[in-house]
Amino acid sequence: MEFTRDGKSCSFCGAPWAEDNKLIGGFGPQICHRCVSDAHDLLDDPAEMDRRRTPPWDDLTVEQMLNTLPDIVRTSDQVDEFLHGWVGLLRERGVSWQQIGLALGVTRQAAWQRFTRAKRAGIAEES
């Protein structure tokens, strides 16, 4: 599996990787420098966290929700691609479907089916 941030985007704001806005990866998701700084400040401020208890989407218009949708789809697909990359890596090392199934608490067959089906087509790229 290639280690690259090209084409990746922040799973918090949707911003693409850029030299002046680095990304750091987790279990598939990425977070950008700006969001890390914001999160860092916010999470250490209990009062502000309490103010954010109201779900932000309650105040969004339909247009705003629709505008956010492609970013959610793209970052969701990003996790899926990472997952497939990870399984590909295991298979390259000769790890059996049985072992992969065991790690996931499913049968050999279920693991095989899940990961050998064609990768879900990126919906945003279909047209």
- Footprint on this chain of another protein (rule: CB under 8 A): 1-3, 10-14, 22, 24, 26-29, 31, 33, 35-37, 39-40, 42-44, 49, 53-55, 57, 62, 65-73, 75-76, 79-80, 82-83, 86-87, 89-90, 93, 95, 99-100, 102-105, 123-124, 126-127
Tokens of 80: 């899926």
Neighbouring residues of 10: CB distance < 8 A, sequence distance ≥ 6 = 16, 21, 23, 30, 31, 32, 34, 35, 75
- In whole angstroms, the minimum distance from the beta carbon of 23 to another protein comes to 9
Q: What angle do CA 22, 17, 25 make, to 5 degrees?
A: 65
CB of 81 to another protein, least distance (A): 10
Quick check: helix, strand or coil at residue 13?
A: coil
Question: Least distance in Å: CB of 112 to another protein?
Answer: 14
CB 21 within 8 A of CB 32: yes
Smallest gap from Cβ 95 to another protein, in A, equals 5
